[in-house]
Chain A
Amino acid sequence: MTPTKTTDLKAGPSSTDEFIKGLWRENPVFVQVLGMCPVLAVSNSAINALAMGLATAFVLIMSNILVSSLRNFIPKQVRIASYILIIATFVTMVDYAIQAISVDLHKNLGAFISLIVVNCLILSRAEAFASKNTIGKSALDALGMGLGFVFALFCLGAVREILGNGSIFGFMIFPESFQEWIIMILPAGGFFTLALWLFLFNNYKLKKAKA
């Protein structure tokens, strides 16, 4: 939440910058460590991770746009409650949409679609960015953050599915004799995979800082 504020204070970062920062420099998962619950819970296969990421990104974009366009009308005291209502409305829409598109997918993701409401990432973008910036900038910010979130979820989901199931998107990529690492698709594997990715990120950052 805090890194954004410093960006806001800088003399008008360009629109592309608002978009790019979410993808890499301020990646919501790897750098800001926000919205962890769905990241860990549904990343046990690449397709689940991708669907969850896209659903979250959609809610993020729509709610950022709406919050930004209403930012002059919402009284300060009730802003958080209003944001949550806005987010809950979009999540209900997504929930019914996914149910209509694929019942299987809806079953796999289970309650976690509804739980997008309480994804700290969305609320933090509404509070830290959309409530202070124009509609266009908020949309770009949400798009960047959303794609960054999808990217991170996919990274986790792919690693867990490849190691835990020997497949990617349901296609087997290892020979039959491959011994699956069952632990990777169990809850503990989620923690370990995320730790691994954060480790790689930290390593890269430290090396860069030294150079």
Chain B
Amino acid sequence: MKSESLWYIFINASLINNFVLAYFLGICPFLGVSGKMETATKMGAAVTFVMIISSVCAYGIHALLVAINAPFLQLISYIVVIAATVQLVEMVIKKMSPALFRSLGIFLPLITTNCAILAVALFQTAKGYSFFGSLAFALGAGVGFTLALILMAGIREQLDFADVPKVVKGTVITLLVAGILSLTFMGFSGLGS
């Protein structure tokens, strides 16, 4: 456990145990905003940003909670920090790019309830990563999430031109594609070990 290099933590979080395709975290935005490539890229960037900030905060909070001996507050304090970060990002995006704000729509506030972000905070605590380890983990998770989202968006843009039977249109075909993507990501297992 201790011998894990930062590079390995990063690769592990982004490819080998991809958050979306291996841990099923962040499925809602994965299915929801993967329709267009442009939105997918920006959503990925927003999620990665929130992940890194909340990971840093979670590291501090964990140290504090251990110090005051109140581990049962962990979940509640993590979620509050994440909600605050999302609010911040929302305000920044609204100010910088109203068009992007509209295209992300309901999925922006829903980053709060994106399990991938809370999972980063929880996993890094459970695995006992150092400060930089946590940072590498959060970055890897964000990159992995963005990668899955972009791959999916690329496929779905092509799917729009395909003749899909009515009965599998929408969620069903998306899930099938996700399953196949997940299979290909299994090819990464064993990497770096």
Binding site for B on A (CB under 8 A): 33-34, 36-38, 40-41, 80-81, 84-85, 88-89, 91-92, 95-96, 111, 114-115, 117-120, 123, 183, 186-192, 194-195, 198-199, 202-203, 206
Contacts and interface: CB of A to CB of B under 8 A. Distances in A.
B180 to A, nearest CB: 7
A21 B182 CA distance: 33
A194 B176 CA distance: 9
A175 B183 CA distance: 28
Contacts of B24: 36-38, 40-41, 187, 190
B93 interface: no
Interface string B103-144: 000000110111101110011001000000000000000000
Interface residues of B, number: 41
B1 interface: no
Contact of A117 (B26, B118, B176): B118
Given A36-B24, A192-B176, A88 B31 contact: no
A198 B118 contact: no
Contacts of A111: 119, 122-123, 126
Nearest to B19: A37
B167 A202 contact: yes
A126 to B, nearest CB: 11
A198 B75 contact: no
A36 B167 CA distance: 20
B72 A114 contact: no
With a 10 A CB-CB cut-off, give which of B22, B27, B80, B166 has the most chain A CB atoms. Answer: B27
Given A40-B27, A120-B113, A84 B79 contact: yes
B175 interface: yes
A195 B113 CA distance: 23
Interface string B69-96: 0001001100110010000000000000
